[in-house]
Amino acid sequence: MKTPKLVTTLAALREELVAVRRTGQKIGFVPTMGALHEGHLSLVRAAKTECEFVVVSIYVNPKQFGPDEDFSKYPRTLDADCELLAGCGADLVFAPADKEMYRPGHATSVDVGAIAQRWEGASRPGHFRGVATVVLKLLNMVRPDAAYFGLKDAQQMLVVHRMAHDLDLPTAIRPCPTVREPDGLAMSSRNRYLSPTGRKQALVLWRSLQKARQLVEQGESDAAAIVRQMRTVIETAETAKIDYVALVDPETLESVEKVVGPTVALLAVKIENTRLIDNCMLMPK
């Protein structure tokens, strides 16, 4: 098993990458906040199929957390993360400290516009400004040929895609499928906050998405009716608190009234005190 090299400074990262670029290898990049699971590893494997050299960043970005969110308790498991990355194709891990990422006087941020304002953006003001800013910084630091993002964070994917397009970034943005536990729960670093009971209750997210799929397959096209039934499924979990359940256009993320073309079912639900998100594509016949 090949253990990826760990660097923690921008200078060391650049030095490594200058040497890689000289050999003409394609560079793939997987940005993460650590607490890695199979979902992240699938991104690394996807990167490795297209790129000879794969960089993974591990950085819990304070700018994408709201004041009442879980920044301080977010799991930091660098040693375990590096062990997981060994053997799945990562060549270099970049784990910068806060002072390396945001140097004194840092003042610039990236606003991506309407796509970043709704759903997660509305519930977590400033979240996507933080995400876009750190992703742009990381892309400038690594200068990869391609960067890989999981579709569980569907809105994040669109925000990053919009930014990359609008700002003419040379990196290709690659969406990768959501990885699920055998029972359907989408893998997330936050799943580890759940108690065994919460873990069982969290299945209502996946069940409600399946309900939406089933209704669409049966010919239901009324979005309000589908959302109502999805909410009913979620409400069977004792601790569930729905933030939003929506059926949206896959490009604009605006709510649809009728499911007549490809549509994304999008949801955010608190189970116990853990906020989980998930989504799936609905394809009416």
Size (the chain), residues: 285
- Stretch in the footprint of ligand PAF (CB under 6 A) among 29-37, 44-52, 222-230, 272-280: 29-37
Active site annotation includes 40 = yes
Residue with tokens 């993460």: 32
- Stretch in the footprint of ligand PAF (CB under 6 A) among 2-10, 31-39, 179-187, 261-269: 31-39
Is residue 134 a contact partner of residue 59, using CB atoms and an 8 Å limit? yes
How many residues at the interface with ligand PAF, by CB under 6 A? 10
Q: Which is nearer to ligand PAF, 36 or 185 (CB)?
A: 36
Buried/exposed 23-32: b ≥16 CB within 10 Å, e otherwise = eebebbbbbb
Q: Which of residues 118-137 bind ligand PAF (CB under 6 A)?
A: 131, 134-135
31 binds ligand PAF (CB under 6 A): yes
Catalytic entry in 37, 40, 161, 165 = 40
Cβ 259 to ligand PAF shortest distance, Å: 28
Q: Which is nearer to ligand PAF, 156 or 208 (CB)?
A: 156
The contact pattern for ligand PAF, residues 137-166, with x = CB under 6 A and - = no contact, is ----------------x--x----------
Taking the C-alpha atoms of residue 145 and residue 143, their distance in angstroms, rounded to an integer, is: 7
> 115: Cβ–Cβ under 8 A, 6 or more apart, which residues?
121, 155, 158, 159, 162, 252, 253
Q: Which is nearer to ligand PAF, 131 or 266 (CB)?
A: 131
61 binds ligand PAF (CB under 6 A): yes
- The CA-based diameter of the chain, rounded to the nearest angstrom, is 57
Cβ 206 to ligand PAF shortest distance, Å: 20
Give the active site residues: 40
Binding site for ligand PAF (CB under 6 A): 31-33, 61, 64, 131, 134-135, 153, 156
